[in-house]
Homo-oligomer: A and B are copies of this chain.
C-alpha cells in the first residue's frame, strides 16, 4: 500500500557493475553510478545502502554468476581435460581485446586498494578458493585419466594462476590467438 519501486534492482546492479568494472571501486563516484543507472542517490541509498554496500552486492552477483557457470561447465562431459578446456575457452573473449579490456572485476578489485576492507578481501579469497576447488574436484574425480605423477591439487592451483594472469593481460588487449596459444600450453599440464 505504497508507491512501488520504478526500477529493477538487478538491472541497476548490473549497470553499476559495469561502471565499477571499468573504473574501479575507488575511481567510481556515486555520480557515475547515478548517471549510468538513471537513479538518484536517495534511490540508490534506499535500495542498496552506501557505496560500500552497493559494491559488495555488485561483487557478490558477479562472483555468483562465474561460479554458477564454472559449476555447470566443469561438471559436464566425460573428461576433466575437455571440461577444463571448454571452461577456459569461454573466457577467451574477455581475455583478449574482443570484449573490451576490463579484465575481471574480481581481479581488478583484488589489486585495488579496497583490499584493506576485510569484507571485500574475504569475498575475493572465497571466490578464488571456490573456483580452485571446482577445478581440483574435477581433476581428482578423473584422476585415472592422467599419469601417475599427475598432481591434481597443484595443477588446479596453477590453472587458477593462469586464469588470473590472463585477466591481468586482458588489459593489454592481446589478440585471441595469443590467448588460445596460452590455453594450449596450459592443457599440456593435464597429462
A residues adjacent to B (C-beta < 8 A): 22-24, 26-28, 101, 103, 107-116, 121, 124-125, 128, 151, 153-155, 157-158, 160-169, 171-172, 178, 181-182, 184-186, 188-189
Contacts and interface: CB of A to CB of B under 8 A. Distances in A.
Given A154-B181, A172-B125, A189-B188, A113 B165 contact: no
Contact of A24 (B113, B163, B169): B113
Per assembly, the copies of the chain total 2
Contact of A168 (B113, B157, B164, B189): B164
Given A27-B112, A157-B181, 6 more contacts: A125-B172, A154-B178, A154-B181, A158-B162, A158-B186, A165-B166
23 contacts: A22-B113, A26-B26, A26-B112, A101-B115, A107-B111, A108-B112, A109-B111, A110-B171, A115-B171, A121-B171, A151-B181, A153-B181, A154-B182, A157-B178, A157-B185, A161-B161, A161-B162, A161-B182, A162-B165, A165-B168, A167-B168, A185-B189, A189-B189
Q: What DSSP secondary structure best describes chain A's contact surface?
A: helix
A128 B172 CA distance: 9
